[in-house]
Chain A
Amino acid sequence: MTDSIAMAVARPVASKVHVRYKSPTARGRLPVLVLFLPPALLLFTLFVILPMGEAAWYSLFRWNGYGPPTEFVGLRNFTVLFNNAAFSQALINNGLIIVVSLLLQIPLAIWLAMMLAHKIAGVVAFRLIFFLPYVLADVAAGLIWRFVYDGDYGLFAAIAGFFGVATPYVLADRDLAIYAVLAVVVWKYFGFHMMLFIAGLQAVDRSVLEAAEIDGATGWQKFRYVTLPLLGSTVRLSVFFAIIGSLQLFDLIMPLTGGGPSNATQTMVTFLYTYGVTRMQVGLGSAVGVVLFVICITLAFGYKRIFMRHD
């Protein structure tokens, strides 16, 4: 029974409207294109395409940023990169952040959204509270949590002192630091995903849920077979944002740990900054940029092709 509902939901009635891109509009399009495309195209080329090409070009040089790059080293920067233990750690950490975002953050966001999607008293206040961390600037959030974790004067020190146990210095602990960072990541971004889901849930047709209720579906069945499938496009979008966001994580980590201790909390972008920018190795930094770009593009387009075809 429930299956058939899901089927009905998953396949909405196809109502294709054939749009003909022919006259009379076609004649009017050319001037519009000529007038309106160049500014955007120019800016996009100048600030997006060109820098990407430049980064790819610089990644083949050993260059400290002064004068034009002259010392061509082929793919050596990439060899150095993939033999670098800190970069491997950064890749692992990026993977870990994606996994935690998907398995912890999104379910948490859905769960909270389910509770906050209805019109009950105080719901707006709760939405605001949960959304607040997302509004906060990343660096500010990082600094706040650095204080929370501080083993001498921070919140953790106070809690440990209250219970009379030795203070854990989580951010200075090679094994714990990344989990401390992950906790902040989840705290910071779940509100954003929650908002996405609330919007998605509000678009769910009440009558479908009522139909399921009449058919005797339990709460879990309603969620599993009605709400979740109807929320499909939102989930796919949320996962997409989570993956891309995780890959680019930087400003939260810098004030927290700066990638340390012993590179334990390095991500690809913090690695790029630490090894490329501060060490004046523009070639190596560009190589990281190229790798990051390839990973992002592959994931983004692959994901869109496979999972978001119908959205």
Chain B
Amino acid sequence: MTQHHRKTVFDADRFVRLAAATAIVFASGSGFAYAQTVVKWMHVETVPAYIQVWEEIATAYEADHPDVDVQLQFLENEAFKAKLPTLLQSDAAPDFFYSWGGGVLRQQSQTGALMDLTEAMNADDGAWAKAYKPAALAGLTYDGKVYAVPYRMGTISFFYNKELFQKAGVKAEDITTWNDFLQAVKTLKDAGITPIAGGGGDKWPLHFYWSYLVMRNAGQEVFDKAKNNEGEGFLDPAIVKAGEQLAELGKLEPFQGGYLGATWPQTLGVFGDGKAAILLGFEHTEANQRNNAGDGKGLAPENIGRFPFPVVEGGAGLVTDTLGGLNGWAVTKNASPAAVEFLRFLTSPEQERKMAAAGMIIPAAVGAEDGLKNDLMRQAAEQLAASTWHQNFFDQDLGPSVGRVVNDVSVEILAGQMSSEEGAQMIQDARELE
């Protein structure tokens, strides 16, 4: 077990082994006698407690497999995305790396940089494949081939500050349609409360609104057509209508001051500090707002409520359709069998249960949810289990270039800088340029 930024002062045993291996390399030119198989695992996780869980899993694995050395390699999120294409085509490629699935993974798979896992997954009557939820596995499969090992699932939903809702006299149970939601925003505003925390600086936090409105208005069929550049594409009336509803929300000026420059951590802080009543966020919002709150404590868990994104009247989408993440570990072409073996161990129900218990993930492995201790996380897992259509994040699913345009457009429409038609046209243009 080695980690690049861990301070290992001196490990005599390791040193001797390394020296021996080096000596053999120099002596014979091929030194596998003592050499360990190094498993390079690249991730973007920044929470120390979560990395700790991984390290423990890796150490346990190494104890049973002395010939394997698992190395965690960290890259910052944006740097990771920018560096990956070059990295994958070089000798320094990791054995497996974090993936958000969607269009990016599809692109990577098409270039032959990834290992096709279909055969391994389906061996022994699909023993490995059966360890994961079918929806998770399907989301990482392109043209019948599995390109990543499912790891976690997530869902975006509204979180609200119970105290502030009570103060303004808003009841979360009553918000079932988009109009109810707009009404709640107005009521909160009239009560002198900032209704929503929004992260316009990072853009993607606001693209959840457009995405959900498109899902609720257009439904899966129309969205899939648009994605595949069929029919009217993103100029479909239902999608344009979603943009109009988004503009309506923007006109109410529901966000905190300066939201157009706010990053996601700042946004979580605004919600955590009780400066805004609503946040459209990830399943682990409860932990996130705590980490980013000004006092380091944030809102008490019992003060946070949760409700699904409401339906729109006359829309084709259901309230049980979910938008959210689907993450996996993509294996690179030249990965060693040991790396694949370790990855299977890492994503097994037993290990994922540990991660669920630590509040890290909603597991993609079958039967690991019972590890979830956090109430809000469990609610999210239940919502996912009952999902009628689980859609991966638009900015991932549509690939990097169209996805970023979706983010841009969502912010511009909310800020009143762009009409819904213009936005739809921009996305469609980007789609056609693909």
Known: A65-B85, A66-B88. A278 touches B78 (CB 8 A): yes
Closest to A85 in B: B426
Known: A65-B85, A278-B78. A261 touches B415 (CB 8 A): yes
**Interface residue? A56 (CB, 8 A):** no
Query: In the assembled complex, how far is the CB of residue A171 from the closest CB belonging to chain B, in whole angstroms?
Result: 4
A273–B274 alpha-carbon span in the complex (Å): 35
Interface size class of B (residues with CB under 8 A): 20 to 34
Residues of A near B412 (CB, < 8 A) are 262
Count residues on chain A whose CB falls below 8 Å from chain B CBs: 28
Contact residue among A80, A166, A258, A279 (Cβ-Cβ distance under 8 Å from B201): A258
Residues of B near A5 (CB, < 8 A) are none
Contact residues of B between 257 and 308, Cβ < 8 Å to A: 257-262, 266, 270, 294
A65–B203 alpha-carbon span in the complex (Å): 24
The answer to whether A279 touches B112, judged by C-beta atoms less than 8 angstroms apart, is no
Known: A66-B113, A67-B111, A67-B112. A279 touches B261 (CB 8 A): no
**Interface residue? B433 (CB, 8 A):** yes
The answer to whether B258 touches A278, judged by C-beta atoms less than 8 angstroms apart, is no
**Interface residue? B107 (CB, 8 A):** yes
Closest to A177 in B: B261
A152–B271 alpha-carbon span in the complex (Å): 13
The answer to whether B81 touches A172, judged by C-beta atoms less than 8 angstroms apart, is no
Residues of B near A177 (CB, < 8 A) are 261
Residues of B near A80 (CB, < 8 A) are 433
Contact residues of A between 124 and 175, Cβ < 8 Å to B: 151-153, 166-167, 169, 171-174
| Chain A 61-79 interface mask (CB, 8 Å, partner B; 1/0) | 0101111000000000000
**Interface residue? B353 (CB, 8 A):** no
* Interface residue SS majority, chain B: helix
The answer to whether B257 touches A277, judged by C-beta atoms less than 8 angstroms apart, is no
Query: In the assembled complex, how far is the CB of residue B231 from the closest CB belonging to chain A, in whole angstroms?
Result: 24
**Interface residue? A234 (CB, 8 A):** no
The answer to whether B260 touches A172, judged by C-beta atoms less than 8 angstroms apart, is yes
Contact residues of B between 4 and 53, Cβ < 8 Å to A: none
Closest to B83 in A: A277
**Interface residue? A260 (CB, 8 A):** yes
Residues of B near A257 (CB, < 8 A) are 201, 261
Query: In the assembled complex, how far is the CB of residue A169 from the closest CB belonging to chain B, in whole angstroms?
Result: 3
Contact residues of A between 244 and 293, Cβ < 8 Å to B: 257-258, 260-262, 274, 277-281
Contact residues of A between 20 and 34, Cβ < 8 Å to B: none
A153–B200 alpha-carbon span in the complex (Å): 18
Contact residues of B between 58 and 102, Cβ < 8 Å to A: 78, 81-82, 85-86, 88-89
**Interface residue? B108 (CB, 8 A):** yes
Residues of A near B400 (CB, < 8 A) are 64, 278-280
Known: A66-B113, A261-B415, A280-B107. A169 touches B257 (CB 8 A): yes
**Interface residue? B417 (CB, 8 A):** yes
Residues of A near B266 (CB, < 8 A) are 152
**Interface residue? B320 (CB, 8 A):** no
The answer to whether A172 touches B85, judged by C-beta atoms less than 8 angstroms apart, is no
A67–B88 alpha-carbon span in the complex (Å): 10
Closest to B401 in A: A279
Closest to B402 in A: A279
The answer to whether B261 touches A172, judged by C-beta atoms less than 8 angstroms apart, is yes
Residues of A near B262 (CB, < 8 A) are 172
**Interface residue? B404 (CB, 8 A):** yes
Interface residues of B, Cβ cutoff 8 Å to A: 78, 81-82, 85-86, 88-89, 104, 107-108, 110-113, 200-201, 203, 257-262, 266, 270, 294, 400-401, 404, 411-412, 415, 417, 433
A152-B266, A153-B294, A171-B261 given. 7 additional CB < 8 A pairs? Answer: A64-B107, A66-B88, A66-B110, A67-B89, A151-B257, A167-B258, A261-B200
11 contacts between A and B (CB under 8 A): A66-B89, A67-B111, A167-B258, A171-B258, A174-B415, A174-B417, A260-B201, A261-B261, A262-B412, A279-B404, A280-B85
Per CB-CB distance, the 3 closest pairs between chain A and chain B, nearest first, are: A169-B258, A172-B261, A66-B111
